[in-house]
Amino acid sequence: MDRIAETFSRAKDEGRACFVAYVCAGDPDFETSLEICRTLIENGVDILELGAPFSDPLADGPTNQLAAQRALEGGMTSDRVFELVEGIRGFSEVPVILYTYYNLVFARGEREYVDRAVRAGVDGMLTLDLPPEEAGSLLAISRERDIRNIFIIAPTTPPERVRTIADSASGFLYYVSREGVTGVQAELAGNLKDAVAAIRKETSMPLVVGFGISTGEQVRRVGELADGVVVGSALVNCIKDNLGDRDAILKALRAKMGDLRAG
């Protein structure tokens, strides 16, 4: 089995959901970002989702938009994102998912981008703005190079399209629990249980749930329904609230991870 499949299998054997953490690569700078990734992994992250900083993000709310802006201003590039993954591989075999945009892939060339990702140690790609109907060539190249392609399902996705997405996806599916953009929310979406059950009817692929999850109690409730729980903005806020003090950032992340992992 690949690292992603092994991770979901291990979590299932342990009777729990996978914890998936999102941070923007290079926020607020390369060296701090690497230490942030190390801290998250040391504090229980099962799968690390790294956002490739991009000038025109589509699904990110203000928190993650500003994280991408900080990373870009700090000198992050596509090459440096891959170098960050290589740095992570120096101390961890945790699966790494690259949350990227098709412009970044297209500008480099699909094959070259995938090859570089594989050499760096990336396990999967979530190319946010590439629908499965237009992803044929990237999917073929990814299969050749044994890298997984994750796709998003939205609250508005009809059942027949869930099947289309699942047929193209590999690794796992990512359910966006609410309409709109990323960001901390006080309450979970009210229809989450029914939505997850409806997706389960269409596919047996592992399902993770994200967008708006920010507390240990929310993690617990989502973890009872899904195979994985994604937390992003709540972790990125630990960076934003302590800019200029690396030790304070890492301390805040350790404290937040304690609450989230307890869930």
Mean pLDDT of the residues in the chain = 92
Check 14, 29, 42, 49 and give the catalytic one: 49
| 59 in Cβ contact with 179 (< 8 Å) | no
In a 3-state reduction of DSSP, which class is residue 127? strand
142: pLDDT strictly greater than 80: yes
Cβ proximity of 230 and 174 under 8 Å: yes
Q: What is the pLDDT of residue 109?
A: 98
Which of 72, 85, 5, 77 is CA-nearest to residue 41? 85
* Residue 183, pLDDT score: 42
- Here the tokens at position 187 are 């309450």
Q: Is 49 a catalytic residue?
A: yes
Widest CA span in the chain: 49
Residues 6 or more apart in contact with residue 195 via CB below 8 angstroms: 155, 175, 177, 189
In sequence order, the β-bridge partners of residue 177 are none
Q: Is the predicted pLDDT of residue 1 greater than 80, yes or no?
A: no
Residue 159 main-chain phi, psi, to 5 deg: -55, -40
User: Between these two residues, 249 and 213, which has the higher pLDDT value?
Assistant: 249
Helices 78-89 + 110-120 axis angle, to 10: 30
pLDDT band at 157 (very low <50, low <70, confident <90, very high): very high
pLDDT of res. 170: 97
pTM: 0.93
- pLDDT the model gives residue 190: 61
Give me the phi and psi of 20, to 5 degrees please. Answer: -110, 125
Confidence at residue 180, expressed as pLDDT on a 0 to 100 scale: 45
Read off φ and ψ for residue 185, nearest 5 degrees. Answer: -130, 145
Q: Is the dihedral of CA 212, 62, 21, 59 positive or negative?
A: positive
Task: With a cut of 60, say whether residue 160 has pLDDT above it.
Answer: yes
The pLDDT of residue 166 is above 90: yes
Backbone angles phi, psi at 99, to 5 degrees: -95, 105
| Per-residue model confidence as pLDDT tens digits over 214-232 | 899 999 999 999 999 999 9
pLDDT computed for residue 87 by the predictor: 98
Asked if residues 256 and 224 have their Cβ atoms less than 8 Å apart, the reply is no
Catalytic residue among 46, 60, 202, 227: 60
3-262 is classed in which CATH architecture?
Alpha-Beta Barrel (3.20)
Give the model's pLDDT for residue 6. Answer: 97
DSSP element (H, E) containing 103: helix 102-108
60 as an active site residue: the answer is: yes
- Please tell me the predicted confidence (pLDDT) of residue 246: 97
pLDDT over 70, % of the chain: 94
Residue 13 burial (CB count, 10 A): 8
Query: Would you say residue 128 has pLDDT above 80?
Result: yes
Chain segment 33-75, per-residue pLDDT in tens: 999 999 999 999 999 999 999 988 776 667 888 999 999 999 9
pLDDT by residue (tens digit) across 169-223?
Answer: 999 999 997 544 444 444 565 688 999 999 999 999 999 999 889 899 999 999 9
